[in-house]
Structure formats: C-alpha cells, structure tokens
Structure 1
Amino acid sequence: MTKRFWNLFKVSPVVVAATFFVANSALAAEVNKQVTNVADLSEAQESNNMSQVTSVSQFSDVQPTDWAFQALQSLVERYGCIAGYPNGTYRGNRALTRYEFAAGLNACLNRVNELIATSTADLVSKQDLATLQRLQEEYSAELATLRGRVDGLEARTSELEANQFSTTTKLVGEAIFNVSDAFGDRAAAQVGNPTRNLDSNTVFSDRVRLNLYSSFTGTDRLQIRLQAGNILPNNTITGTNETRLGFDVGAPNNNSVIIDKINYAFNFSNAVRVKVDVSNSELYENVEVFNPDFRSSATGAISRYGRFSPIYRQGQNGAGLTVTLNPNGPISLTGAYLAENTNNGNVVNAFGPNNPGPNNGLFNGDNTIFGQLSFKLNKAFNIGLTYARTYQAGNANNNLFQSTGSIFANNPFGAATRTESNNYGVEGTFQFSSKFALSGWGGYTTADAITGANAGRDADIWYWAGSLALRDFGGKGNVLGIVFGQPPRVTGGSIKTGNNFDSNPSYHLEGLYKFKVSDNIQVTPGLLVIFNPENNDNNDTEYVGTLRTTFSF
C-alpha cells in the first residue's frame, strides 16, 4: 500500500504531512498484528536517537535501486524532514513507532510552516488539493479500519503494561516427567565378579527448573535458577556411574525448591563476553561443547555421558569467571577459572569457594584453569581444542569427571588424596546437511597423586564418543539419535598394581527419538546399553530404558 501512494503525486509541503499520516497508519497496522507480549511491546515502542541528514547518500543502507529512493531523496533534500539513526542507517524495512512518527511529522510540519512564511508563490495548487482528495477517497475505508486497530493496540498496550511480570526480567520454565528402569546384573568394580542381580523398580520421577533472566542494558543477563526434583541417580542400583541419566539431579531434595544457580554475563563491545558464576558453575553452559543436538539435559541425550565430552565436567558446581574473546566470530578463544565445591560429608566444608576454612576458598580449594580454541569457519564443520588443569585439595573423595565414567577412572588414588590432572580434548561437529549431523569427541587425562598412600603415582585415562543426529526424521522438529563411545577408562600409569587397570573397556550405546509434540512439549523414548560395565568383562551387559517428557514454558 505504501509503495502505491508514493507513485500518485509529486511531493509538495502539504502532501508531505498527508503522506506521513498514511504511512504511519499502514505501519501501525503491522505493529498491531505483531505485538502479542511485553517483549514485542517494548521493541515496538523503542525510540532511538535520530539525527537530521542533508543528503540521501548519507544513509548507508539506502540504494538508488530501492523503490522509495526518489521519494526519500525528495523529502531529505527538498524539505529536510527525514532523520536517520546515529550509525548512518535509515532502516527502511523497520516498523515505524508512534514516537518516531510524531518526531518525523513534527519536523515536516515545522518545515511546511517555514515554507508558508517565506514563500511568495501559491502554496497549495489545485493539483495538490485534487491529489489529497483522491488519497482521502482511496484510503477512507482502510484508514477507518486502521483507526480501530490503533485503538485496539492502545487498549492492549495498557493491559500488558498493567499485568507484565517485570520490565527487566522474564521467567523461563522447564519440567521433566520421567519413567525409567534398569535391567541386568549389578556391576562389580574393576576385575571383581557380580554378587547379585539388579533389584531395580520402575520409577516415575520429575525435575523442575524456573529461570529468572534479567537484563539491564540489553546485552547483559543475570540468571537466577530455582530447581526442585526427585530423580535419584541409578548408580546405587546398577553399581556404575556409566548408567546415569543426563537429567538426574545428583542430590535430590524431594521436590523442595532451592536456588541452585546464580550468574551474571555481560559484553565489552562485541569482542569480549564475560560471565561471572556465583554458584553451580558449569563449563558446559559457558562454552561451546560441539554436540548441538544432545547437549541439553532436558531435550538432549538421555545419558550423562552422551551429552558432551567429560572434559567439560571439570570445575563443576562452584564459582568462577569465564571470558570469551570474539564470541560470535569464526575463531574464538575462551579462558576460565573455576573454584569447585567440595563435599566430604561436613556441611560446613561443603561449599569450597565461600568457605574461609583450610583447603577451601577461591584459590586454596579445588579449582580448574580452562582454555578452549574454537573454530567455526562455516556451518558444515566446527572444531574445538580444549585444555583443563584441575587441582583437588583432598577435601572429598576424588572425582575427576564428576561421576562420568568408571569408578576407578574418577578416583584412581583413593579418598582424601590431593590430586592434579591435565586434561586434553578435541571435539567436532560435521553438518553434512540441515538434516544430518555427526558430532564426536576424544580426550586424554593424566592425573598425579600428591598426597596419600599413592603419592607420586600417576594414571592415564582415555575416552571417546560419536553421535549421529537425523533431524526432522518422521516429522518436522523430531530427531533420531545414536551415541556410541567409550567412557573414561584408566589405561596406564604407575598406579597399576596387579590388575588394577580398567582391564576390558566398557562401551556406551544409546538410541533415542526426540518427538516434538508441540513447541512446548517433547517426548523422548530412549534405551541405554552398557557393555562390560566398569570396564570389567565379568559384568553382564546393563540396560536402562527411559521415557522422558519435557515441558518448556
């Protein structure tokens, strides 16, 4: 409609005002269609500082081939009542806000008054009046409709402003309902023999998270997360962490609500992204993990190991700082320092970073120094090179990979042993098409005991995995996934005494189908199979079946 009336007449001072009115009415209709929530309303009402231009060539985004170029050129150079944005753009395809309309109309009316005061010729020709009459007749029905829509928009605006949750904060929620069961014999560690069959019952459990996201500048974000759940880790029944689900809560609280995560992220221009974690720091939420279809605990893999490389489990659950250089560029660099929480059964010492006692605090307790170089040169191929150095102060049973992999790999030196580890990883994603993606990772860890009975000994630990995602399989938004790999396993080092190595490798096989019921509901049936649990071929294969339903809002 806007293009049609530009071609009806040559611009004159009086017609300028009419043109602005018609254009604003048309754009107001578009805004009226789009504004459905507080976020849209805020965007629709955004009023940026604009500055007057003297030539249409000053607009970097306006080209002579644009259909409205001549009209803009006339308004700018003949009447001087068109303003641009401070960055030199006009944003011709952007919806006009009421504030911008008022400012533009006022500028044009002032210019008309100046012309009236200084002109010696006829101000309004018969041709102008005829043009205005044709405009009024042609658009009378549309303008009447638009006036009704504007009135509706104003009423809706008032209602949204009166009932909005917050001008700076939005609430994002997620609820998981899960039915699962485990089958097989209970696993024995290392080279032992199983002592009994699994005594597992089918369970129905849940996990609920409510996130409060606040922004004060538009590019920063304060996250406060509330969590409740009762999903018990199944390792106490199966005898191995290798069967753990990716969405169990670790320490269930019988659905009591706790604040389990607090952090704040902000930018220095577009070149640096900084994130400060106060509690429950998790590297895999701060950096790219190169497993896009399966990284999420709520909508990704069903297993703990299938989500991403165990190297991202370093420095978990504490506080720290993560800095990413060039976060949106093809090559980015991330550095982090995280101080872990410890847990030796003593509540006083269960929170390392905020405990001033011995072997605690930000720098004297468990901590991780992390770095990652990411290459995202195109959508088809992304790769990451990762390093982490972790120190565990011996406040608790060592847990090198936060209960991911065999028991021996997580704690090769025994309880209360000060341990240092160097962790190296490579990760990659290959997207052969929009519907077919292959991801994988491999990692190596060398761990050294500093104190305890094994002081001076070391352990070599390896792991790898690959995942296949078939997107839109059986319907838009559905994903068929397969994950196969070898969880962390001790393969060498001076820690060996007799047959203490993880002698026969465990293999992890996982199949799942993410079925998208709607934009807010996903149902995921899945089966997890662990061959040689705990890297012990005396153990029979274990199976874990799940049916996970995720609600997001």
Structure 2
Amino acid sequence: MSLRNIGRWYSITKNNLQFINNLTLLLFPLTFLLATTLKTFASEEVIVYEELDSIKNTDEMSQVTNVNQLQDVSPTDWAYEALRSLVDRYGCIAGFPNQSYRGNQALSRYEFAAGLNSCLNQIERLIASSESVVREDLDTIQRLTQEFAAELASISERIDNLEGRTAFLEDNQFSTTTKLSGNVFFNFTGATAGDDVLAETNSLDAPLPLRRAGRDSNNDPIISEITDDPEITFGYYTWINLNSSFTGKDNLAIQLVAGNGNSPANSFASAGLYNTFGTPFTDQTGTASGTNSVEIRELFYDFPLGEKLRVVVGPRINWYRYFDNNAYTFFLTGAGSFNSSGGTLVNPIDRGSGAVITFDFNDFVSFKVGYLGENTEFLPSAFFNTSSAPNKGLFSGTQTLTAEIDFSIAETANIRLMYTRSTVDNNVPILDENGNTTGFGIGGATGEPVYGVADDGFGGTIGDAPADTFAVNFDWKIVDWLGIFGRYSYGSTSIFPRDSDREEGEIDAQSIQAGLAFPDLVKEGALATFSFVIPFDVLDGEEFLASGAGDGGTQYEFEATYFYPVNDNLAIVPAFYLIANPNNFEDNPNIYVGNVRMQFQF
C-alpha cells in the first residue's frame, strides 16, 4: 500500500469512526496525567511526561502561515523521513493489517499531519505507561509539531465538530436496532375497450373484487355484457418498512401497507380475474378492510444458520420475495403488471404463515424450499386466512409447498426450476341466475393454478383441491444494452365433487411469457421492457370452469414499460397494455390500458 493511500486513510471523513478513535486531541494541556520517572537505558536518554507536554504546547506553534505550508510533503523531505522513522520505531500507525507505514508518494500536509498526530498520541501513551522514549525522537517531534502546527490545529477542530455531529445522530436516530424506510406510488390509469366486453359473472353490480360466478339452468356459465368504459383513476399505494437487526446478520421485518387503488381494467374482468390483466401491481388497495386503511403486509424473521443456510419464519411471509424472481420482471423496475411480474399459475398464496429455507451451494447454485399456510392481507380473515383459523389452522386450509433451484451462469444469465404442491380451500360461492348460492368452489386470488372459478360442473360444491405446478423462469443479459427473459408454467388441479354421482376430473392449464429488456436506456439505471404473456391457456377440464374458460379463446397480452429514475428517490414509470381475447373470449374486443406511475422511496 502506498504512503499516499495510507495518509488518505487518516483524512477526516464523517463515517470513519476508527479515525475518531485514533486521532485524539493534541492541543489541549495534558494536565490530568502525573509526572513519572522512566527507566534509563545505556544507549537512551529518559524523557519525562512534562517534557512532551511542553513540546505540544510550545508557543512556536502559533506561527504565521508561510509558502512552505502550502506544499505537499515529498518522500525526499526530512519531515517525511522523520515520520517514517517514528512509525517504524513505535508502530504508531495502527489502522493497517501489517501495522506499518510505507510508501514513496507525496502526501498533502493534512494527510501528513494525521500521521504525525497518531505518532504523538502513541508516544504519549508510552510515556504515561512508564515506557522509554529517546531524546532524539522527542526533538524530532518538537520540530515536526512546530512546522505542522496549523494542520494539527485544524485536525483538532474537525474532530470536535465530528464528535458533536456523531453525538447528535446518536441522540436523534429512530432506533438503535431498527431502520425505517418507505415507498409511495401514485398511479394515473385509464382503460378502454371501444366495444362491449363479455365477462363470466352474474353480478356486475357487485364491487369488482366480489364478482361471483354462476351457472344458468343449462349448467352453462352465466355471461354478462359490459357496455361502458371505466373512468380514469388516480390512486395511491404505500409501504412503511421497519427492519430490525439484533446481531447484524438477522432481520425482523415489518411492512405496513395502505392504498386506495382499483385499476379500471378490473371493470372488464370475469369473476375470479380481479387484479389480473391490465393491472399494474401497485394500483391496488393492499388491504381487506377497504381503501385508506393500514394493515400488516409482511411480518417475518430472517436469520442465518452457518455461512450458507438462512431460515425465514413468520405469520406473513411474502412468497414472491423468495421464489419466481426475475431480473427484468421485478415490479418496481421492470414488467410490472400482475400477469407479467410473476408466474400466473405457480402459487395460490401471495403471503402466508410458515417458513422458507434458502441454501447457497456456491456462487452459481442455490436451493430454496418453503411452506406457507394462507394468511393474505387483502382477503377477509373469516373466509381466506385459514392458517390462523382454529377450524383450519396452518396445515388444513389453503397451503402451498414450493421448491426451487437456481442456476447462475457467468453472472449474466439465470435459470430457475420450480415445483409447487398446493391445496386450495373451497371458499368461493357459486350462484344461480337468481343470485342464490348453489355450492362452493375454488378460484379468485387464492385459486391458482385455476385462473377464474371452478366447481363440479353443475354449480355444486367440490372438496378442497390439490394442485401441482411446474415452472421454469430465466433471464439473460446478452449484451450491456439488451436482455431477454421468459417463463413457462404448467398446472394441474384435481376436482372432487361432493356429490358422489358426479365425475371427478382435472383442470390442466399453461401460461407463457417472453420478453425483451433494454437496461440503461437513455439513462444509467433505467430499464425498458416489452413482454408477451398468455396468462391462462386451458388445455383440459373446461367443463369445471364456471368462469375463466370463455368461449374457448386464448387471452394474450402485450406490455411495454419504461422505468426512468429521476434520482435515487424518485422514478417515473409509464406503461401500456394491450389485452387481446380478454376473459378467453375470441369475440371480445381488445382492451387498451395506459398507466403512469410516480414512485418515491425514502
């Protein structure tokens, strides 16, 4: 390490607490220590403490600045050699691993003064502990302190100021263990179809999240016609994050959520498809109590077991924090709709109670496994949060077990293989033409891999439905300005009618995503994405879908987003969505959605 770099280590910075520890004040009288007689060696003169004190307080240190004080200290200067001799003899530079002070580059006068100050303090400690210091070194120190008096005085003043500011921060910090941060999202959104849209529901007048599926007297899904475009909306969504650490390696996370978003594209959705197509992830309420209420979105404790294993436990764990990640579909910076930011069939629980274990084999391979029982913040506890309900509990309601293995290739490509075993609770009412409940099925926000609502094919009740989902997910940064990404998932859900006279069966479906990404477009940190998505392509079992199958068509979507960071705390994110064959009806017109998001973080 060069001498200049060593000197720079001693320059004053706000965050260098080691510097504060090492560079104590030099210019104040050392009256608190007692004089003592030191041991005399044959080849050394003994120096008493009062002599050093007199050197540090010499009147000659109040000299007028001359031209030499504006010059750097060169390795050929006597002062440079003198300080190096002191360092070698007394080991007074203690901030480097080898305890040495080496180099052959010039130092600024303040860098040099920092090193000198450290040596003065070291010699002072030696004298105070009855150690010996030779007269020659004391003379050298006296001459150095005279020549660098102005710089030493400046260091002392800066230390005083830094100590004051440090004390203020310690007195006024939020918590000694907890870090407070937050995110705020403003969403300005409009949607239009240009013509009437068919949707499978018999309750268009119900609040959008509560649209119900039903069957008519012929056991066909009830279809309604939506004739009006929704109005433009302006909503918000916000998080307050509290992250606490007790060991420096663990994290107790609490995330509070509030919002009033309700994306206008939801007006066109069939029952069970709320907050799916054309809906930016942040254009939502995030709570079950309604708009503008505050609830806990995440609550978990994350801690290490050894160097490679981490464990997460909690009553509200975010599944997407650990599984199905992608470099270009993270909803804050990349493809940000509900259908693009994650796989559409992979998991019936967004947040739940349980545990996640992650294990890093090496820098290229990692493994994750997690079990969650349903405990989702934006669904009513009486029907959906089964993990905390005594009649269901952690293992008898809606639940999911996920395993994922990740491969990183050359730091530019990642591929993820995932399997999910789910059990979905039968908690979704099925209605007849008169609005009467005829049975209970599965679907909606906790129905995946079913996208829509499923029953026994006749409006009757089915049992809890087990499902298996297989998925692959990849991203690849081909060059600095271009990346590609994609997903494929296949899900199979077993249907067990409660009426023994009705046949069992399965609903098989697939989803597909492919996209392009343009990192750092126009500005460093920006990201443009273009994504193609087929969210729910029914392969078999249409007869069990009271909503979601449409007329046999296949819905597909195009999404374009551009994340533009104005600065570290503010971003503007425009997005455009085109939804073809919405609700899986070939006869439906295209739906167009535009969104502009302002994104704050603090």
The TM-score normalised by the length of structure 2 is 0.70
Q: Which of 503-512 and 137-146 deviates more?
A: 137-146
1:459 maps to which residue? 507
> Which letter maps to 1:214?
S
- Post-superposition shift, 1:313? 3.5
**Helix, strand or coil for the counterpart of 1:305?**
helix
Report whether the alignment pairs 1:365 with 2:397: yes
Give the partner amino acid of 1:336.
Answer: G
Q: 2:554 and 2:595 mapped to 1: Cα distance?
A: 24
SS at match of 1:353: helix
Distance in 2 separating the partners of 1:148 and 1:212: 37
CA distance in 2, matches of 1:74, 1:410: 84
Task: Please say if 1:275 is aligned against 2:312.
Answer: yes
Residue 374 (structure 2) pairs with residue 340 (structure 1)? yes
**1:428 alignment counterpart:** 474
CA gap of 1:2–1:226, structure 2 versus 1, over 3 A, is same
Greater Cα offset, 313-322 or 215-224: 313-322
Is 1:526 the counterpart of 2:575? The answer is yes
**Residues 312 and 141 of structure 1: is their aligned pair in 2 closer, same or farther, counting only changes over 3 Å?**
farther
SS in 1 for 2:145: helix
Provide the residue aligned with 2:293 in structure 1: 256
- Distance in 2, Cα, partners of 1:73 & 1:142: 18
Give the 5 Å matches for 1:496-511. Answer: 503-511=552-560
The corresponding residue for 2:255 is: 225
**Structure-1 separation of matches of 2:574 and 2:476:** 25
Q: 1:514 to 1:110 in 2, by over 3 A?
A: closer
SS of alignment partner, residue 154 of structure 1: helix
Q: Give me the CA root mean square deviation.
A: 4.1
Query: How does 1:3-402 map onto structure 2 within 5 Å?
Result: 3=3, 27=9, 29-32=11-14, 34=15, 123-125=134-136, 128=137, 131-133=140-142, 135-184=144-193, 185-189=196-200, 195-234=225-264, 236-240=266-270, 241=273, 242-247=277-282, 248-249=284-285, 251=287, 253-279=290-316, 281-287=317-323, 289-296=324-331, 298-326=332-360, 329-341=363-375, 347-357=381-391, 360-396=392-428, 397-399=441-443, 402=446
State the secondary structure of the residue aligned to 1:30.
Answer: coil
CA distance in 1, matches of 2:82, 2:539: 74
1:343 and 1:113, CA in 2 relative to 1: closer, same or farther beyond 3 A? closer
Aligned counterpart for 1:441 among listed residues 466, 475, 487:
487
| CA deviation map 1:463-521 (0-9, x unaligned) | 01022221221222222211112102211248579999562211110011212122111
Instruction: Structure 2: state its 5+ residue gaps.
Output: 23-80, 103-115, 201-219, 429-440
Residues 320-329 or 438-447, more deviating: 320-329
Q: CA deviation at 1:423?
A: 0.5
Relative distance call for 1:209 and 1:476 in structure 2 (3 A) is: same
State the distance in 2 between where 1:324 and 1:523 align. 34
TM-score calculated relative to the size of structure 1: 0.76
Percentage of identical aligned residues? 28
Residue 470 of structure 1 pairs with residue 518 of structure 2: yes
Aligned residue in 2 for 1:479: 527
Contact (CA 8 Å) 1:83, 1:104: kept in 2 or not?
no
Q: Once the two structures are superposed, what CA deviation does each residue of 1:144-179 show, in whole Å capped at 9, x if it has no partner?
A: 222221111011011111111101001111111111
Query: In terms of mean alpha carbon deviation, does 206-215 or 462-471 score higher?
Result: 462-471
The alpha-carbon distance between structure 1 residues 380 and 73, as it changes in their structure 2 partners (threshold 3 A), is: farther
CA contact (8 A) 1:429 1:438 kept: yes
212 and 392 in structure 1: CA distance in 2 versus 1, 3 angstrom threshold: same
TM-aligned CA distance change 1:407 to 1:213, over 3 Å: same
How far apart are the structure 2 equivalents of 1:337 and 1:145?
60
Please state how far the C-alpha of 1:344 moved relative to its aligned partner.
Answer: 13
Q: Counterpart amino acid of 1:291?
A: N
CA distance in 2, matches of 1:326, 1:486: 32
AA aligned to 2:491 is: T
| Counterpart residue identity of residue 202, structure 1 | I
The answer on whether the counterparts of 2:191 and 2:265 sit within 8 Å (CA) in structure 1 is no
How far residue 89 of structure 1 moved from its aligned partner, in angstroms, is: 8.5
Gaps of 5+ in 1: 7-22, 36-40, 48-69, 94-100
CA contact (8 A) 1:310 1:401 kept: no
- C-alpha distance in 1 between matches for 2:492 and 2:99: 57
- Report the residue type matching 1:529 in the other structure: L
Q: Is contact 1:79–1:111 with CA below 8 Å preserved after alignment? A: no
Say which one has the larger Rg.
Answer: 2
1:327 CA displacement: 7.4
1:120-158 deviation per Cα after TM superposition (whole angstroms, max 9, x unaligned): xxx233xx4564355335533332222221111011011
- Structure 2: how far apart are the matches of 1:551 and 1:399? 34
Instruction: Call closer, same or farther: CA 1:162–1:440 in 2, change over 3 Å.
Output: same
Cα–Cα, structure 1 residues 350 and 420, in superposed 2: closer, same or farther, change >3 Å?
closer
Pick closer, same or farther for the CA change 1:552–1:369 going to 2, 3 Å. Answer: same
Q: What is the SS of the residue equivalent to 1:490?
A: strand
Q: May I ask how many residue pairs the two structures share in their alignment?
A: 487
How far apart are 1:29 and its partner, in Å? 3.5
Name whichever of 465-474 and 448-457 sits farther off: 448-457
* Separation in structure 1 between the aligned mates of residue 557 and residue 397 of structure 2, nearest angstrom: 33
Amino acid in structure 2 at the alignment position of 1:286:
Y
Contact kept? 2:329, 2:340, Cα under 8 Å: yes
